[in-house]
């Protein structure tokens, strides 16, 4: 090939690249009618970007807005059982979001060992638990009403959902046994549970074992949350709760319903990887695409019905600006949607 021909081919290649770039840019033109909404959203969630980053984040945010509008239009037509809405995650791609916020380590959790519980067997409780399947179907449970659930917390930009799920379960059992609700320290777990990986993820049985082996956990007041990995600063002179052991629940929704009604709030893992979950606002969440690969840890605090639809009542750790004031109602008895019954456990305090 002659040098002249090579130069001509290279120039043609550059021209194609420029045209492709311009085509992409023209396809991602920002919607000026959303300028005020964008400004208000940045102010509400205290978002700050470099000049180069702002356009990119704005494009993602506008994609989220289009998704929200389309989904809610379809909801009004009866195609969905839940609504979505803009929140603090509107400027993240789904990949970024999952890497940042969903820190449940399923592979490591599956390789750990817990004692399995079948129905109501082996549960430490003073009351007899005899209930028919029909009674269970009609039941409504919300452990917030008993005062066994602390206010919604916020894990921030840290994959520590596993720690919040674990403390929530311990808080509930401690309140049940001792009559007082104490907010426990997720940071204590993030810093000190060396089986798990702090802000890079973990699992709840690891947290329970740490508290058991460490002879306790500090309160959130003593050891406040910082949303980052730090050195362990556990104080053994100010223990707020202890754990004797923990139990795992059999992998089906009937067993899960029996146990949450009998025991109290349970630590569970779910698949929270879809945009519909990231932007959930209200209603009973059901997405047929939601698989059973678990990536996020939450607290199951009850179950009930809304407009004839059965749901699990779930407390998340993404603050009150997400979802229904920090909660989500997830479809119950719909083939274990999002794998909610696949990894559920509770501590004995």
**What are the residue numbers of the active site?**
161, 296, 316
Residue 304 in contact with residue 141, Cβ under 8 Å?
A: yes
CA atoms in the 13 A half-sphere facing the CB of 155: 34
Residue 6 — φ and ψ, nearest 5°? -65, -40
CB 187 within 8 A of CB 199: no
Instruction: Give me 69's structure tokens.
Output: 């509008």
* SS3 at position 214: coil
Our CA angle for 142, 147, 152, nearest 5°, is 80
Three-class secondary structure of residue 272 per DSSP: coil
Q: Return the closest-CA partner of residue 165 out of 174, 155, 175, 156.
A: 155
Decide: 252 and 344 in contact? Cβ < 8 Å.
no
End-to-end CA distance of the chain: 79
Q: Which residues, including other chains, have CB under 8 Å from residue 94's CB and lie 6 or more apart?
A: 273, 274, 275, 278
- Residue 98: both structure tokens together: 């999952």
Alpha helices in 223-305, H assignment, sequence order: 253-263, 275-278
């Amino acid at each position: 090939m002659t040098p002249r021909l090579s130069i001509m081919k290279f120039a043609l290649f550059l021209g194609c690249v420029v045209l492709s770039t311009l085509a992409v840019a023209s396809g991602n033109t920002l919607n000026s009618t959303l300028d005020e909404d964008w400004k208000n959203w940045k102010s509400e969630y205290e978002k700050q970007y470099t000049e180069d980053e702002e356009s990119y984040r704005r494009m993602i945010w506008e994609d989220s807005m289009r998704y929200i509008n389309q989904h809610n239009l379809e909801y009004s037509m009866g195609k969905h059982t839940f609504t979505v809405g803009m929140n603090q995650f509107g400027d993240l791609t789904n990949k970024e979001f999952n890497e940042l916020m969903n820190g449940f380590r399923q592979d490591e959790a599956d390789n750990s060992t817990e004692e399995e519980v079948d129905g109501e067997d082996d549960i430490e409780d003073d009351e007899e638990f005899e209930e028919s399947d029909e009674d269970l179907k009609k039941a409504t449970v919300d452990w917030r009403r008993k005062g066994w659930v602390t206010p919604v917390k916020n894990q921030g930009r840290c994959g520590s959902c596993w720690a919040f799920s674990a403390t929530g379960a311990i808080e509930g059992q401690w309140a049940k046994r001792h009559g007082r609700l104490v907010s426990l320290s997720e940071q204590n777990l993030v810093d000190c549970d060396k089986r798990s990986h702090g802000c890079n993820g973990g699992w709840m049985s690891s947290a329970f074992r740490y508290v058991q082996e460490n002879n306790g956990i500090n309160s959130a007041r003593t050891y406040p949350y910082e949303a980052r990995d730090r050195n362990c600063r556990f104080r053994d002179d100010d223990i707020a709760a202890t754990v004797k052991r923990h139990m795992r629940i059999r992998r089906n929704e009937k067993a899960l319903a029996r146990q949450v009604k009998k025991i109290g709030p349970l630590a569970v893992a779910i698949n929270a990887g879809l945009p519909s979950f990231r932007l959930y606002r209200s209603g009973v969440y059901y997405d047929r695409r939601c698989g059973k690969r678990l990536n996020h840890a939450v607290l199951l605090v009850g179950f009930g019905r809304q407009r004839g639809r059965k749901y699990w009542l779930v407390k998340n750790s993404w603050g009150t600006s997400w979802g229904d004031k920090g909660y989500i109602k997830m479809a119950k008895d719909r083939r274990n949607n999002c794998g909610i019954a696949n990894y559920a456990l509770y501590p004995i305090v």
